[in-house]
């Protein structure tokens, strides 16, 4: 964790107050801002009048409504031999403050954050158990791709209990482990079981989703409509119900990613100050889950296309056929394109494998420029690289377009 904190310190300058004031020349007022009218806000007693305003307050991790979780989240470990205290129940915002490794960690939530941190802690030497309700991991991703990640995590030593029907409670056992951390007990009931199961741990991570930060700003005084679960109500141009105020990021979007907030902010600048016509619906947002192997996706999933009644075909290429992947002993995974049934138009794509997050950008460029999968076969890639699977998938598609006569040549 010390190494993690060193890296965080290196990149924290990007969001520092010093960068905004000295490098970007922005007047920065540090404090809790509140709206006092449709064109005014106050910060630490000072009133500011604006022509345009942006709410970019982000989101916060939710605590599951389980008996004992809220209370233990408010309690901290004791300062033991110089180790800094941490909450007994952690979220992704506090887990990186650990200065001592726990022996056993229970993770509530089998989504992106839960799996990323579960695998990382397991590989560092902590015994990790992941709990969930849906019976599967990474429910948004294609099931076979999510299964590949799950199988690797099982090989790493992570245990899964994904059919929890009831979280009874979380409580201290009264014991203190030799690492100085108090022991906790998580009691759950699984599907098909009548007797509860006790999971003993000295660290509990809640990774069960995020909520938008939209309270405490007196948004009503600015005629801004919001929902505590969904966030600000915004138009496709990211305007709130007060046309002078815009929303950006987790406080108003289903795409809770740093890069999504970045491009939403760019759109707002154009729309608010330069008569732009940027629309949220036009943003093509890729995303990645940074497990090992990674999963990355962009565009529509098969389930999305099915719901819309769009006919499509699936084109795949596996890393086991890629020379670089073979050399790196990283042949697990594949790339999957979802293309129009009659043309090579790409509706969406997913990759599971090493460096999937890096490779998805090439597909994003193709989709954004309306370049079809067949044309990607003509893009020369350095040899040997794993990114060649993108070109090779284009070859696979083009072969499906050949007539029987040509195939026999």
Query: In order along the chain (409 residues), what is the average pLDDT of each group of 10 residues?
Result: 78 76 85 96 96 97 93 80 78 89 96 98 97 96 98 98 96 90 96 94 95 97 97 98 98 95 96 94 96 98 98 98 97 99 98 98 98 98 97 97 69
Domain that holds residue 312: 287-402
Tokens of 211: 């909520």
Residues 95 and 193 both lie in one domain: yes
Q: Tell me: do 320 and 230 sit in the same domain.
A: no
Residues 115 and 141 in one domain: yes
Decide if 64 is inside a domain: no
User: Per-residue pLDDT tens for 191-229?
Assistant: 999 899 999 999 999 999 999 999 999 999 999 999 999
DSSP bridge pairs for 231: 227
Residues 182 and 219 grouped into a single domain:
no
Question: Does the residue 181 lie in any domain?
Answer: yes
Phi-psi category of residue 289: left, alpha or beta, with phi > 0 → left and psi -120 to 50 → alpha? beta
Q: Are residues 232 and 153 in the same domain?
A: no
Kindly list the distances between the CA atom of residue 198 and the CA atoms of 78, 128, 184, 201, in Å, as whole numbers in the listed order: 24, 14, 10, 10
Query: At which residue do the structure tokens 């100050």 appear?
Result: 273
Q: 246, 261, 282 — which closes off a domain?
A: 282
Residue 92 lies in a domain: yes
Contact 301, 314 (CB under 8 A): no
pLDDT tens string 302-316: 999 999 999 999 999
Residue 231 in domain: yes
- Residue-level pLDDT at 24: 82
Angle at the Cα of 288 from the Cα atoms of 283 and 293, rounded to 5 degrees: 160
Q: For 132-209, where are the E strands, in sequence order?
A: 159-161, 164-176, 182-190, 197-201, 203-206
Any idea what the CATH number is for the domain that residue 335 is in? 3.30.390.30
Alpha carbon 3 to its chain centroid, in Å, reads 22
- Measured at the alpha carbon of residue 15, what is the angle toward residues 17 and 245, in degrees to the nearest 5? 85
pLDDT of residue 406: 64
Pair (188, 217) in one structural domain? no
| Residues forming beta bridges with residue 227, ordered by sequence position | 231
Two tokens, residue 97: 């403050």
Residue 92, token pair as written in the block: 């992704």
- 164 shares its domain with 83: yes
Whether the Cβ atoms of residue 158 and residue 149 lie closer than 8 Å to each other: no
Structure token digits, residue 157: 């030593």
User: What CATH code is carried by the domain that includes residue 219?
Assistant: 3.50.50.60
Q: At what angle do helices 143-156 and 112-124 cross, to 10 degrees?
A: 20
For residue 62, give the nearest of 200, 206, 161, 198 by alpha carbon. 206
Nearest to 364 by CA among 264, 279, 258, 259: 259
- Provide the number of structural domains found in the chain: 4
Residue 405's pLDDT is: 66
Instruction: With respect to residue 157, please indicate whether it lies within any of the assigned structural domains.
Output: yes
In this structure, is residue 322 part of a structural domain? yes
* Residue 166 structure tokens: 């009831």
pLDDT of residue 79: 60
Residue 82's pLDDT is: 58
Asked if 270 and 228 touch (Cβ cutoff 8 Å), the reply is no
| Same domain, residue pair 201 and 220 | no
Cβ-count burial of 189 within 10 angstroms (0-12 exposed, 13-18 middle, 19+ buried)? middle
In a domain, 407, yes or no: no
Both 95 and 16 in a single domain?
no
364 neighbors 286 (Cβ within 8 angstroms):
yes
> What is the Cα–Cα distance from 160 to 269, expressed in whole angstroms?
45
Provide the angle, in degrees to the nearest 10, between the axes of the packed helices 356-368 and 388-400: 50
Which of 168, 183, 208 marks a domain boundary?
208
In a domain, 144, yes or no: yes
Same domain flag for 299 and 364 = yes
Domain boundary among 149, 179, 208: 208
Give the predicted TM-score (pTM) of the model. 0.92
Assigned token pair, 83: 């180790």
Same structural domain, 48 and 84: no
pLDDT over 90, % of the chain:
83
Residues 116, 186 within the same domain: yes
pLDDT of residue 3: 78
* pLDDT single digits (tens) 357-373: 999 999 999 999 999 99
């Amino acid at each position: 964790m010390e190494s993690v904190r060193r890296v965080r310190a290196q990149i924290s300058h990007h969001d520092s107050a010093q960068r905004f004031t000295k490098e970007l020349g922005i007047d920065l007022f540090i404090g809790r801002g509140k709206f006092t009218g449709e064109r005014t806000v106050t910060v630490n007693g000072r009133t500011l009048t604006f022509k345009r305003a942006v709410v970019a307050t982000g989101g916060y991790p939710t605590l599951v409504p389980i008996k004992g979780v809220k209370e233990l989240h408010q309690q901290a470990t004791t300062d033991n031999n110089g180790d800094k205290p941490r909450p007994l129940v952690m979220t992704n915002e506090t887990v990186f403050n650990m200065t001592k490794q726990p022996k056993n960690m229970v993770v509530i939530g089998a989504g992106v954050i839960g799996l990323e941190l579960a695998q990382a802690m397991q590989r560092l030497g902590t015994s990790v158990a992941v709990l969930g309700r849906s019976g599967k991991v990474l429910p948004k991703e294609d099931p076979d791709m999510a299964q590949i990640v799950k199988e690797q995590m099982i090989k790493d030593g992570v245990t899964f209990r994904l059919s929890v029907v009831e979280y009874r409670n979380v409580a201290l056992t009264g014991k203190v482990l030799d690492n100085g951390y108090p022991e906790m007990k998580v009691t759950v009931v699984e599907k098909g079981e009548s007797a509860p199961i006790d999971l003993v741990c000295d660290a509990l991570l809640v990774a069960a989703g995020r909520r938008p930060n939209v309270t405490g700003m007196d948004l009503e005084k600015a005629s801004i409509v919001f929902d505590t679960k969904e966030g600000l109500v915004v138009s496709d141009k990211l305007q709130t119900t007060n046309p002078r105020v815009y929303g950006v990021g987790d406080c108003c979007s289903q795409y809770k990613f740093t890069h999504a907030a970045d491009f939403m902010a760019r759109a707002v600048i154009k729309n608010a100050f330069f008569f732009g016509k940027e629309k949220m619906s036009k943003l093509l947002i890729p995303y990645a889950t940074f497990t090992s192997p990674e999963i990355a996706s962009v565009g529509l999933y098969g389930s999305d296309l099915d719901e819309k009644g769009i006919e499509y075909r699936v084109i795949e290429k596996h890393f086991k056929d890629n020379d670089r992947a073979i050399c790196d002993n990283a042949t697990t995974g594949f790339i999957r394109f979802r293309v129009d049934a009659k043309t090579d138009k790409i509706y969406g794509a997913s990759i599971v494998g090493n460096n999937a997050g890096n490779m998805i950008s090439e597909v994003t460029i193709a989709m954004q420029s309306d370049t079809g999968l067949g044309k990607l076969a003509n893009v020369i890639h350095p040899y040997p690289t794993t990114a060649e699977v993108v070109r090779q998938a284009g070859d696979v598609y083009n072969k499906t377009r050949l007539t029987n006569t040509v195939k026999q040549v």
